[in-house]
């Protein structure tokens, strides 16, 4: 029954241009821009911390689209599936960030040690 109610509630195809629809377009646009900015950050910045932040910005953009998607309905109750996806996505994103920070810390310590060794050799 729940499945039947969810089916076809929203669509990215044109045709249903309500106020909700316009709001959703804004969310979609903002989210897509964040994804692009985040990805550019990963590619363009040399610093590890900035790259990790880039990944987080990409994630936030996607979560923004999902939240917009959940609210995009004439029903007073928002669609629960995108909410569940955002929650899962946040958990995954926190784990990924933690792992990346731990690795980046190790890499930085290793680089510092290498520089010290080189100075001693000189």
Partner 1 sequence: MSISPHAAIILLILGPLTFAALAFLWPRYWRWFCFTLAPLQVGAVVKLALEVYASGPVRHHVGGWTAPLGIELRADGMAVVLLVITAGIGLAVMLYASRYFDPGPGQQSAEGARRQKYFWPLYFFLLASLNALFLSADIFNLYVTLELIGFSAVALVALAGKGPALTAALRYLLVSLAGSLFYLLGVVLTYGTYSTLDISLLASRVEPSFVTWVALGLMTGGLLMKAALFPLHFWLPPAHANAPSPVSALLSALVVKGAFCILLRLWFEAFASMVTPAAANFLGWLGVAAIIWGSIQALRQPRLKLLVAYSTVAQLGYLFLVFPLALSESSGFTAWSGCLLFLGAHACAKTAMFLTAGNILHAAGHDRIRDLDGITHVLPLSVFAFALAGISLVGLPPSGGFAGKWMLLNAGVSQGKWIWVTAILVGSLLAAAYIMRVLNHAFTRVPEPDIPNPIPPVMEWTGFTLALLAVVLGFFAQWPVELLRIGSPFVSVVQTVEMLP
> In the complex, which residues of this chain contact partner 1 (CB under 8 A)?
2-3, 6-13, 35, 38-39, 42, 48, 51-52, 55, 58-59, 61-62, 65-66, 69, 80-82, 85, 88-89, 92, 95-96, 99-100, 103-104, 106-107, 110, 114
- On whether the CB atoms of residues 29 and 23 are closer than 8 A, the answer is no
* Whole-angstrom distance, CA of residue 8 vs CA of residue 3: 10
CA distances from 46 to 40, 43, 50 (A): 11, 8, 8
Nearest CB to partner 1, comparing residues 18 and 114? 114
- The least distance separating partner 1 from the CB of residue 3, rounded to whole angstroms, comes to 5
5's torsion region: left (phi>0), alpha (psi -120 to 50) or beta?
Answer: alpha
- The least distance separating partner 1 from the CB of residue 38, rounded to whole angstroms, comes to 8
CA distances from 28 to 19, 63, 77 (A): 14, 10, 20
With CA atoms as reference, report the closest residue to 57 among 78, 40, 34, 28.
34
- The least distance separating partner 1 from the CB of residue 76, rounded to whole angstroms, comes to 18
Nearest CB to partner 1, comparing residues 13 and 122? 13
Nearest CB to partner 1, comparing residues 78 and 96? 96
- The least distance separating partner 1 from the CB of residue 42, rounded to whole angstroms, comes to 6
């Amino acid at each position: 029954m729940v499945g039947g109610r969810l089916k076809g509630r929203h669509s990215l195809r044109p045709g249903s241009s309500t106020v909700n629809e316009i709001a959703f377009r804004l969310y979609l646009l903002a989210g897509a821009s964040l994804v692009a900015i985040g990805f550019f950050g990963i590619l363009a910045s040399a610093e590890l911390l900035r790259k990790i932040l880039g990944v987080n910005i990409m994630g936030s953009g996607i979560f923004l689209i999902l939240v917009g998607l959940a609210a995009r309905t004439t029903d007073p109750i928002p669609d629960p599936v995108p909410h569940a996806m955002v929650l899962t996505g946040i958990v995954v994103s926190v784990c990924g960030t933690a792992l990346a920070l731990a690795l980046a810390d190790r890499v930085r310590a290793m680089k510092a040690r290498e520089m010290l060794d080189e100075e001693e050799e000189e």
